[in-house]
Amino acid sequence: MENNKSIVPVLKIQNLKKKFGSNLVLNGFSMELFEGENLVIMGKSGSGKSVMIKCLVGLLKSDEGTIEITGKNIKELSQKEMNSLRTEIGFLFQGSALYDSMTVRENLEFPLRTYKEKLTNKYTLVNEALESVGLAHAIDLMPEELSGGMKRRVALARAIIMCPKIVIFDEPTTGLDPITAKEIIELMKDIQKKYNTSSLIITHDVDCARVISNRMILLIDGINYAEGTFEKLSSSKDNKIQAFFK
């Protein structure tokens, strides 16, 4: 992805700092995500990965630093503009976060409701998204009737229903058996190709990182400690880096 340096990134984070009380979680983290790229961020539990992506979508406010999404600095946006920008970002939560009082169809229709899509168009979009994840038959089921893998697929369908430019995956394979995890990874690749999205993937899963990443960042001590391809980082002699690949 070296040639990407010449193009404008869809997402740019500079010197991001975030503190909880006296605990400094992010200490000047910087990164860039380019169009069509799959960027994997790895880090130990508590290293600030989730805090970083929450700052990214405005769920948390950073103490310092700038975040630019498609060229817009999110700190300068009004709530309305931020909500509009959020439609360009799909988010797959670690626990799927499906609305458990709604059917699969209603879960997928929920992000569309603000934008007053015509009902027929809504129906087509929901069906298309569900077909993309191979769950068209589950449209009228409740989340409680779905398995863990199916929930993750529905959550993925919900993340892409607005045809976002960026999809953020928070631990997409955590809690899944190896076969289902592999299916989810394949699905992520297919969706990335179909919708031409840029993906930011937070994971602990080395297999997932190896299969899906174009580039990786290791988040250690609140900073971008190391950056490069999977092959480059996995062959590093640095003990801190090696610890991730053992």
8 A C-beta contact, residue 148 and residue 183: no
CB of 202 to other proteins, least distance (A): 14
CB of 220 to other proteins, least distance (A): 25
Other CB atoms within a 10 A radius of the CB of residue 38 amount to 23
- With binding defined as CB under 8 A, does residue 242 bind other proteins? no
C-beta closer to other proteins: residue 109 or 216? 109
Identify the residue among 23, 114, 147, 196 touching other proteins (CB under 8 A).
Answer: 114
* CA-wise closest residue to 126 among 102, 94, 95, 93: 102
Tell me the HSE value of 171 on the side-chain side, using a 13 A CA sphere: 14
CB of 108 to other proteins, least distance (A): 10
CB of 136 to other proteins, least distance (A): 21
Instruction: Phi first, then psi: give them for residue 176, nearest 5 degrees.
Output: -105, 150
CB of 236 to other proteins, least distance (A): 34
Q: What is the CA radius of gyration of the chain?
A: 18
Residues 195-207, buried b or exposed e (16+ Cβ, 10 A)?
Answer: eebbbbbbbebee
Interface mask toward other proteins for 50-89; x: CB under 8 A: ----x--xxx-----------------------xx-xx-x
Report the C-alpha gap between 27 and 48 in whole angstroms: 10
| Residue matched to tokens 């801190």 | 240
Identify the residue among 46, 64, 73, 95 touching other proteins (CB under 8 A).
Answer: 95
Report the C-alpha gap between 67 and 73 in whole angstroms: 6
Q: Is 15 left (phi over 0), alpha (psi -120 to 50) or beta?
A: left
Interface mask toward other proteins for 116-155; x: CB under 8 A: ----------------------------------------
For 218, the 3-state DSSP assignment is strand
CB of 231 to other proteins, least distance (A): 33
- With binding defined as CB under 8 A, does residue 30 bind other proteins? no
Identify the residue among 29, 34, 93, 230 touching other proteins (CB under 8 A).
Answer: 93
| Residue matched to tokens 């709604």 | 102
C-beta closer to other proteins: residue 138 or 167? 167
CB of 191 to other proteins, least distance (A): 17
Size of the site for other proteins (CB under 8 A): 25
Question: Which residues here bind other proteins, judged by CB under 8 A?
Answer: 54, 57-59, 83-84, 86-87, 89, 91, 93-95, 97-101, 110-111, 113-115, 158, 162
